[in-house]
Amino acid sequence: MSSSAPTSPTDRYVVATDGACKGNPGPAGWAWVGEDGHWAAGSIPSGTNNIGELLGLLYAITDHADVRELVVQADSKYAIDTYSSWMDGHRRRGWVTSAKKPVANQGILEALIAARDARRAAGLPDVVLEHVRGHSGHVLNSWADERAVRASQHAAKGEELIWTSLRGLEKLEVASAPPRSAADRNGR
């Protein structure tokens, strides 16, 4: 973590997450953007929107493992419900759904459980998840969407990469929404 990101275990930190996919399945991206402008994003050449949403949540948690009060804002009810209600049940049932079908995204769910359990083992409270409406003017969510869409564009070129301000890239100016892209103007 860089020196300007929260480092004290008493800090409260708000981060928004999002996922994007060009087609579903298709080239996908994920992102998180923090209230101080720190951010991370990644591209997956072949994925789904749900994979992008879950990876945004996973990286938001693991990239802020030392933040005592981590608040994650997401527009994905799927990601929120998976983390808060479903993943432990899936594990108890041997990674099959109640309909006895294999659980989608098992590897990511296992990593989310490990991240949650690591916070608990460190004596940190569970992550607070807040649902926000996507594409409704929520500034941090708009920035997370912008970063996830950009990452999915790289994924469409076959690139599997992760970018982050925590390793030297410039922070975002999150006081206002990101510039509107052509996709936003055309109603996506």
Question: Is the residue at 2 inside a domain?
Answer: no
How much is the pLDDT for 92?
93
Query: What is the distance between the alpha carbons of residues 12 and 46, in angstroms, rounded to a whole number?
Result: 34
pTM of the predicted structure, to 2 decimals: 0.89
The dihedral built from the CA positions of residue 151, 62, 132 and 78, taken in this order, carries a sign that is positive
Domain count, the chain: 1
First-to-last CA distance in the chain?
Answer: 34
Q: Could you list the residue range(s) of the whole structural domain that residue 128 is in?
A: 12-175
Contact between residue 86 and residue 93 where contact means Cβ atoms under 8 Å apart: no
What is the arithmetic mean of pLDDT over 161-180? 92
How confident is the model over 68-119, as pLDDT tens digits? 999 999 999 999 999 999 999 999 999 998 888 999 999 999 999 999 999 9
How confident is the model over 12-69, as pLDDT tens digits? 999 999 999 999 999 999 999 999 999 999 999 999 999 999 999 999 999 999 999 9
How confident is the model over 120-146, as pLDDT tens digits? 999 999 999 999 987 777 899 999 999
Question: Is the residue at 59 inside a domain?
Answer: yes
Query: What is the distance between the alpha carbons of residues 41 and 100, in angstroms, rounded to a whole number?
Result: 34
Question: Is the residue at 182 inside a domain?
Answer: no
